[in-house]
């Protein structure tokens, strides 16, 4: 088919990796809820109800005001990078490397916990004012630092992708959408943001601001340090410029071009997927493992068994495929959220209405009567 001919191996890799990142990040977020509930049970003799928002201080829940102003803040950041990139590129590269190190350590942590469990106790090692860490945490952080250093020295796209994957998983796991209303506000605002900066920015700034910022490489900090300290022409001068890990890139089978997908096109729909996964498990537990209360009209049993998570995940895949085909047909960059937001939100809203959950999901869906039970274990 024509659609198939417009998708090559690089796009297939992008599809699979982005879906895996969303699924993995969503389940990591859910497991963090389990761990926090276990800690609360250990620290308190009275059982409290689950409210869907973890008490962990490291988790950020987006409210309506933040959802409305996030596209504006993103626009300001985009303009700063567009006009003042040469001035802030080194600082931005260093900050990105630090964040990517922490995020990739979080991505590696389950593997390191599995590797260190047979040979090392889970006791934490004190490092004074730096805090206390387990052997698995130290191992994951060490591996992450090593990977970032190799990326700085080589600038290889595969290492950049690995760091971008860590950023995606960490953002999906640590940022929460509390309700469907906030989800709609956030994704609708980001859709307008994406469409404007991809399609209309060239009419105002004589350049596609989004594409230029996303593809512009930054000076390597080692090269800048070498020039500042006058270390000589052969010290730190042969390192490549760095393409920052704000995107996933995969080369085509011919090597003639790269397929690119911004991490915002993974993280923002991923936050919606994380929300519906938490709601699916919350509702399943609250209803005694039933698939939901009957909605208006005659809803078939098969329809009731379809989870919101699977419905939204399929919509994400279809939207990503549509965006890829559109970019190949028009031979130009496309705002992926233009396709991802309708294909994820509209099926979710329709299914929520048919199941009778729309009103509850719209505002504070996780607040309910007291219950001492926890989520269904995944």
Q: How many helices (H) and strands (E) does the chain have?
A: 15, 6
DSSP 3-state assignment of 378? Answer: coil
Q: Distance between CA atoms of 209 and 196, rounded to whole angstroms?
A: 10
Distances, alpha carbon 235 to alpha carbons 3, 13, 178, in Å: 49, 37, 51
Where does the chain show beta strands of DSSP type E? 60-61, 125-126, 132-133, 175-176, 247-251, 258-262
- Take residue 130 and report the two structure tokens written for it: 């730096």
Strand 132-133 relative to strand 60-61, pairing:
unpaired
> How many other C-beta atoms can be found within 10 angstroms of the C-beta atom of residue 112?
21
CA atoms within 13 A on the CB side of 330: 11
The verdict on whether 161 is a catalytic residue reads: no
C-beta of residue 190 within 8 angstroms of C-beta of residue 275: no
Q: Distance between CA atoms of 74 and 68, rounded to whole angstroms?
A: 11
> How many other C-beta atoms can be found within 10 angstroms of the C-beta atom of residue 349?
16
Q: If 0-12 CB within 10 Å is exposed, 13-18 middle and 19+ buried, where does residue 29 land?
A: buried
Distances, alpha carbon 196 to alpha carbons 21, 68, 202, 259, 334, in Å: 27, 16, 9, 22, 11
Q: Distance between CA atoms of 333 and 197, rounded to whole angstroms?
A: 11
**What's the helix, strand, coil split of the chain in %, to 5?**
65, 5, 30
Of these residues, 161, 194, 223, 357, which one is catalytic?
A: 194
> How many other C-beta atoms can be found within 10 angstroms of the C-beta atom of residue 342?
16
Of these residues, 161, 223, 265, 357, which one is catalytic?
A: 265
The verdict on whether 86 is a catalytic residue reads: no
For the annotated catalytic residues, the residue numbers are 194, 265
């Amino acid at each position: 088919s024509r659609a198939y001919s417009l998708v090559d191996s690089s796009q297939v890799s992008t599809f699979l990796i982005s879906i895996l990142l969303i699924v993995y990040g969503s389940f990591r977020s859910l497991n963090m809820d389990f761990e926090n509930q276990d800690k609360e049970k250990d620290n308190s003799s009275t059982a409290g109800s689950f409210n869907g928002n973890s008490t962990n201080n490291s988790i950020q829940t987006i409210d309506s005001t933040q959802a409305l102003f996030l596209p504006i803040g993103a626009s300001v950041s985009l303009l700063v990078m567009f006009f003042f990139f040469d001035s802030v590129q080194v600082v931005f590269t260093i900050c990105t490397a630090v964040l990517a190190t922490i995020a990739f350590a979080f991505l590696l942590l389950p593997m390191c916990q599995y590797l260190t469990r047979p040979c090392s106790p889970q006791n934490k090692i004190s490092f004074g004012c730096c805090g206390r860490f387990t052997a698995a945490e130290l191992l994951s952080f060490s591996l992450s630092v090593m990977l970032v250093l190799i990326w700085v020295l080589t600038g290889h796209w595969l290492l950049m992708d690995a760091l971008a994957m860590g950023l995606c998983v960490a953002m999906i796991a640590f940022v929460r959408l509390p309700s469907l209303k906030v989800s709609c506000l956030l994704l609708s605002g980001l859709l307008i943001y994406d469409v404007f900066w991809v399609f209309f920015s060239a009419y105002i700034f004589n350049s596609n601001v989004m594409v230029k910022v996303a593809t512009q490489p930054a000076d390597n900090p080692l090269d800048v340090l070498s020039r500042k300290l006058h270390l000589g022409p052969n010290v730190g001068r042969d390192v490549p410029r760095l393409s920052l890990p704000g995107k996933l890139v995969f080369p085509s089978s011919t090597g003639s071009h790269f397929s690119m997908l911004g991490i915002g096109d993974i993280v923002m729909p991923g936050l919606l997927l994380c929300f519906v996964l938490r709601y699916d498990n919350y509702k399943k537990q609250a209803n005694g493992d039933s698939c939901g209360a009957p909605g208006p009209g005659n809803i078939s049993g098969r329809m009731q068994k379809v989870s919101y998570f699977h419905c939204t995940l399929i919509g994400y895949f279809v939207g990503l495929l549509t965006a890829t085909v559109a970019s190949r047909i028009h031979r130009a960059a496309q705002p992926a959220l233009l396709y991802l937001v309708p294909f994820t939100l509209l099926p979710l809203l329709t299914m929520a209405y048919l199941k009778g959950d729309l009103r509850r999901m719209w505002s504070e869906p996780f607040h309910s009567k007291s219950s001492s039970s926890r989520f269904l274990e995944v």
